[in-house]
A and B are shown apart, each in its own frame.
Chain A
């Protein structure tokens, strides 16, 4: 995984119900990735939904990326990005989905999150305790993808109360 720095300001209350709602939508996207593109198995989907809930609910990330890339050239073919938004009433809560139409054939897949300042300030012991609470092995990676010839489009918003995520898709 690649960790980059970003900032979270906890200005309003985010409840676990709000986070669960949005993570459920992201999990539904993952379900389509599994169903239509066989990117991973059901266990991975369950585990990742659990882990992403932890990263988001505990304020340690505000950016989640599903990356699909050429494993040889590291050229990004497609990316589904979720910008986590806290303390804003987004108004809309779209249905999850619209994943089947992506062309993901021959690509490798990984999930990347950007860590927050709260994470950076966490003592190593507490980071270790956090890792122990996760289902999957997480670690840092320096792998940088090439973004050439594609474009971004913001296509969906998932939200509950003053918490949400804007989904954008990059594709060639």
Chain B
């Protein structure tokens, strides 16, 4: 079925959707109403085309689909009014290395990224199947680092600062990304700052804490390093007058539960320092957002999880999303819908293994291996991709007690 997007009478996009697969996935989903789930999935596909559609149009689609599923007569196309989501022009990248605070921070952090930048935008846009998370993440994190925007909104639409806004402001600027390996946690954590940058019309800095922060084991070292990470983040935020994202990847190595019996005393002190650092960021009102990425949600200290404003859980792509990923990377090869179905089938869970390919497996293993099969002598073909999938094993799910 085709979804035709119109704007002021003109066709701005035509999106092919495999309606039968989407309905089938919707019927398997946890959403009680399969039609509602189908509409949500189609909306998510439309958004990937950088198009927004108003609620009224989605309701219209809901009614059309309800009729089609009951009667078994699906229209060849649905017309919806929509518009392209506009992006603000890029800001000039500041000469960060000239700033002494940045120079100092560069020695400490594993990496510093200044948003907006084109590569981050491309990474962010390439993360498909995460639309719900993306939408809420950008909105919420923008407000966590710029509370006054919430007050402006409240005054504009409610003519006063609502009591509810105060509760929002009291939240700790901590976000946890938890989930299986290869599901896009780190890629999203490293790129969503670009969207916040657009939203706030300001540069945003990402400071990535190295797992080396754990130190060499000297007593007191970890506590000092954690304290320093927060100190440096605050210094950068003040020096550049811009929001800062402090990214702690593999957060479980830093923030593992103090209840774990094998934990070293120094680790426990480090976790306390981490909690204090997070609390200090909140109290100081510094525009710092702390992001934890972990494969082992259960290993993170409950006191840290409790403080989190949001915990996002990531999962492997389902059958419909696998098709979308393959269409994203091989959509210009002229493959048929049946062939995309076959690719999704081959990368889905099987009777022998109860897990399918991750987003990362497809992007980092299937795509390059397929290309290298054909390069440099011939054109890339469907068989190259299918054989690649069949020859590879998806990354096994992360299991407690084993590091990814």
Q: Which residues of A contact B (CB under 8 A)?
A: 8, 10, 13-16, 20, 50, 53-54, 57-60, 116, 118, 125-126, 129-130, 132-133
CA distance A130 to B251 in the complex (A): 44
Contact of A60 among B23, B33, B63, B67 (CB under 8 A): B33
Residues 58-75 of chain B: 1 if any A CB is under 8 Å from the residue's CB, otherwise 0? Answer: 010011001101111000
Q: Is the CB of B63 within 8 A of A118?
A: no
With A59-B32, A59-B33 already in contact, the answer to whether A129 and B70 are too (CB < 8 A) is no
Q: Is the CB of A132 within 8 A of B63?
A: yes
With A53-B70, A54-B66, A54-B70 already in contact, the answer to whether A14 and B27 are too (CB < 8 A) is yes
Closest 3 CB pairs of A and B: A133-B66, A118-B32, A59-B32
Residues 25-73 of B at the A interface (beta carbon under 8 Å)? 27-28, 30, 32-36, 55, 59, 62-63, 66-67, 69-72
With A16-B23, A129-B59, A132-B59 already in contact, the answer to whether A10 and B30 are too (CB < 8 A) is yes
Q: Is the CB of B35 within 8 A of A58?
A: yes
Q: Across the two chains, which residue of chain A brings its CB closest to B37?
A: A58
Find chain A residues with CB under 8 A from B72 CB.
Answer: 20
Count class of interface residues, chain B: 20 to 34
Count chain B CB atoms within 10 A of each CB in A8, A57, A126 and give the residue with the most: A57
**Counting CB contacts under 8 A, is B212 at the interface?**
no
Contact of A133 among B28, B30, B32, B62 (CB under 8 A): B62
Can you sample 17 A-B contacts with CB below 8 Å?
A10-B30, A13-B28, A14-B27, A15-B24, A15-B27, A16-B23, A16-B69, A20-B70, A20-B72, A50-B71, A54-B66, A57-B34, A58-B33, A118-B32, A125-B55, A133-B62, A133-B67
CA distance A57 to B67 in the complex (A): 12
Find chain A residues with CB under 8 A from B27 CB.
Answer: 13-16
What's the count of A-B pairs with C-beta under 8 Å? 49
CA distance A14 to B70 in the complex (A): 14
Find chain A residues with CB under 8 A from B62 CB.
Answer: 129, 133
In whole Å, how far is B36's beta carbon from the nearest beta carbon of chain A? 7
In whole Å, how far is A56's beta carbon from the nearest beta carbon of chain B? 10
CA distance A16 to B62 in the complex (A): 15
Find chain A residues with CB under 8 A from B66 CB.
Answer: 54, 58, 130, 133
Q: Across the two chains, which residue of chain B brings its CB closest to A50?
A: B70
Q: Across the two chains, which residue of chain B brings its CB closest to A134?
A: B66
CA distance A126 to B72 in the complex (A): 23
In whole Å, how far is B285's beta carbon from the nearest beta carbon of chain A? 35
Find chain A residues with CB under 8 A from B67 CB.
Answer: 133
Find chain B residues with CB under 8 A from A129 CB.
Answer: 59, 62-63
In whole Å, how far is B35's beta carbon from the nearest beta carbon of chain A? 6
Find chain A residues with CB under 8 A from B24 CB.
Answer: 15
